[in-house]
A and B are shown apart, each in its own frame.
Chain A
């Protein structure tokens, strides 16, 4: 049995590359961030029955957000609508409306909330008198979410980011103030809200595996 230096080197190189590939795969698996724990965000989300994503005279792909979250979670918990009928009484609703173009009226109540200065969109919750930061005809059993969106020209990715990110809030995900590439490796959290450096911000339109898992478990899906 002879040990040719060249053969040995080729084998060694192959082993080294193999290890590198394995480590890279593990690295990607570990790079996902952990969405904030308990309490994770709002005490209420759409819940086990799901809810409706309502487009109240916006220009946004709200139906796409509902369909995409259904696809990610492998469920059909979210529906889409252009009507607020039943919101807060028979179904929990996420209602998108545009700042300055008039707020929707739900169960006789004009949805409150305003857009934080400088933000693209701000999400408010009404889960009844003991858990609401804006009135929007919601209840503890069927909470409503009032999403106030900036009246501006957003590109396709930004529109998807806004609708999917805000819907993520209504599914009990909180903000992920993690830098897209520094802290989270190759993951660009959908719940990154642009507070920290993120070259992909506005184009981070895909929920991470951990975000999807958190939505499934926190909503009892």
Chain B
């Protein structure tokens, strides 16, 4: 009993509890292992030459609209996207769901993945989805509109000034009539 005093027992119990908890967090159940997407280069990255991976800027992995992982893909060494970590949204652990990758400007990549916990998939094709013309629901983001806003403001200003130009002479004529001495 000498070495098992109440405070010591309490300390040991606390230590085991903490270690046990952290150990459980670090090692997830088999069904909750993350899904990894390893980016692969089919040819070397050469400065000054367009490389389809580095051209993307960054890649964001989403599952059912939830953002799971993001990586800068401009580095020489291709990164790994890890999907299904404990700190990610619940959707990121949904086995069988579709993982969609989008690049820096929101273009969706053509290649998609089925979320399979505990496995690693490879991405070597960096082409975005096809584009089209014709009446379809919106699928891509807006173009830059900064100049358009300026154009609208100037259009409104031009309209106001034009109306003023039309109204002014009439106003002046009315004013003249009002001030003209009556006989």
A residues at B contact (CB < 8 Å): 5-6, 9, 12-13, 16-17, 19-20, 23-24, 26-28, 30-39, 41-44, 113, 115-116, 118-125, 127-134, 150, 161-162, 165-166, 169, 174-178, 183-185, 189, 191, 193-196, 201
Contacts and interface: CB of A to CB of B under 8 A. Distances in A.
A119 B52 contact: no
B134 A9 contact: no
Interface string B100-140: 00011101001000000000000011111111111111111
A9 B169 contact: yes
B151 A30 contact: yes
A39 B105 contact: yes
A44 B131 CA distance: 14
A33 B143 contact: yes
Given A13-B169, A131-B125, A27 B103 contact: no
Contacts of B97: none
A129 B136 CA distance: 29
Given A36-B144, A131-B126, 11 more contacts: A23-B158, A36-B105, A116-B136, A120-B133, A120-B134, A165-B133, A175-B143, A177-B142, A185-B152, A195-B135, A195-B136
Contacts of A185: 148, 151-152, 155
A31 B147 contact: yes
A23 B144 contact: no
A194 B136 contact: yes
A24 to B, nearest CB: 5
Of residues B128, B131, B150, B157, which shows the largest number of chain A Cβ atoms within 10 Å of its Cβ?
Answer: B131
B125 A31 contact: no
User: Chain B contact residues (Cβ within 8 angstroms of A): what range?
Assistant: 35 or more
Interface of A is mostly: loop
Given A39-B56, A118-B135, A193-B133, A133 B146 contact: no
Given A5-B176, A175-B140, A184-B151, A161 B104 contact: no
Contacts of A39: 55-57, 103-105, 107
Interface of B: 41-43, 50, 52-53, 55-57, 103-105, 107, 110, 124-148, 150-152, 154-155, 157-158, 161-162, 164-165, 168-169, 172, 176
Nearest to A44: B50
Nearest to A193: B133
B131 A34 contact: no
Contacts of B148: 30-31, 33, 178, 183-185
A193 B165 contact: no
Contacts of B154: 23-24, 26-27, 30
A130 B43 contact: yes
A60 B52 CA distance: 32
B127 A125 contact: yes
Nearest to A34: B144
Contacts of B158: 20, 23-24, 27
Given A43-B52, A177-B141, A183-B145, A130 B131 contact: no
Given A23-B161, A31-B151, A34-B146, A12 B132 contact: no
17 contacts: A9-B168, A23-B154, A27-B151, A33-B147, A41-B131, A118-B135, A118-B136, A122-B130, A123-B130, A125-B130, A128-B42, A161-B133, A169-B131, A175-B139, A176-B143, A193-B132, A194-B134
